[in-house]
Amino acid sequence: AQSVTQLGSHVSVSEGALVLLRCNYSSSVPPYLFWYVQYPNQGLQLLLKYTSAATLVKGINGFEAEFKKSETSFHLTKPSAHMSDAAEYFCAVRVDSGYSTLTFGKGTMLLVSP
């Protein structure tokens, strides 16, 4: 069954520093992978998605993620963190076992300090 694992429940960076949020997936079929962001008291917003086209995917707010099949990874990066990036980030994979839904990781809280 498809699943994702997010490494680190909390990541702290300074403003202007590189953001790296890790996600590893498990899938027996070519995966569809997603990153979502959740700001406090809000729903989840799609940041970017990988659907077997280009391996480097660019999303909103300057985020990007690279699909690496050999490492079964789909890590999220941003060159320079802003205070407004502080939020919880979720990696997700499309489940493909008779039906089609998304299963989410446990989430990583990104903390940005001045």
Partner 1 sequence: DSGVTQTPKHLITATGQRVTLRCSPRSGDLSVYWYQQSLDQGLQFLIHYYNGEERAKGNILERFSAQQFPDLHSELNLSSLELGDSALYFCASSPREAANYGYTFGSGTRLTVV
Q: Which residues bind partner 1 (CB under 8 A)?
A: 32, 34, 36, 41-46, 49, 51, 90, 92, 94, 98-107
Q: Find the shortest distance in angstroms from Cβ 28 to partner 1.
A: 17
Instruction: Let me know: does 41 contact 97? Beta carbons within 8 Å.
Output: no
Query: Which CB, 67 or 105, lies closer to partner 1?
Result: 105
Do the bridges between strand 19-26 and strand 73-78 make them parallel or antiparallel, or are there none, so unpaired? antiparallel
Tokens of 35: 């990153």
Nearer to partner 1, 9 or 84 (CB): 9
* CB-nearer residue toward partner 1: 43 or 114: 43
CB atoms closer than 10 angstroms to residue 67: 21
DSSP assigned state of 9: S
Give min distance, CB of 51 to partner 1, in A: 6
